[in-house]
Amino acid sequence: VDKVQLPNGEIIDKEVVDRISGVSILPFLDNGEYGEFNDGRNGKFLLIKQYFPSLDKHVWKIPGGGIEGGFNPTETPKQAAQRELYEETGYKAKTLNLYFETHGSATVRHHNSYFLATELYKPKEVRNIDENEFIEVIEMEREKAYEMAKNAEFQNHTFSLMIIKAVDQMRNLQSFIKK
């Protein structure tokens, strides 16, 4: 419980939860038809199905997690995104673009950075897999992911928004390339 000052000067007790900052990454595999990163027509997203004991089920998600160091970060959001992408999928990205950020809610102080990862590659180094995370990496066609997001089939709606935004931008790029 924190003491907070309202705009009118009154001080009240307010329950607020502090969470460490995090990152979420939407990885996009493309076939390189138009160079390293094409217009996205033939690409797939790398999505994850992960078992969550708290829910007692497998849930669709995108790679992500907390920034190392907790409330005293020892890495940038971009470094954390690259690390989480590799830990959860086995891929790294030549390009990580910050898509948007969220800043919690009225009762939760939390900062999350959302990245689009492109120009993916599999490095030769050995990756450390957390044996307590049960993750299945799934390549999903761009349009199927878009339809699932539009139909609210993913548990996380911010993740759905990210897919819709990415696909819309890729479609706009296709229109631009055809002109």
Count, in order, helices (H) and strands (E) of the chain: 3, 11
Give, to the nearest 10 degrees, the angle between helix 157-178 and helix 142-150.
130
- Residues pairing with 24 in the sheet: 64, 114
Of the residues 10, 15, 125, 131, which is catalytic? 131
- Please indicate whether residue 101 is annotated as part of the active site: no
CB 52 within 8 A of CB 92: no
Would you name the residues annotated as active-site residues?
131
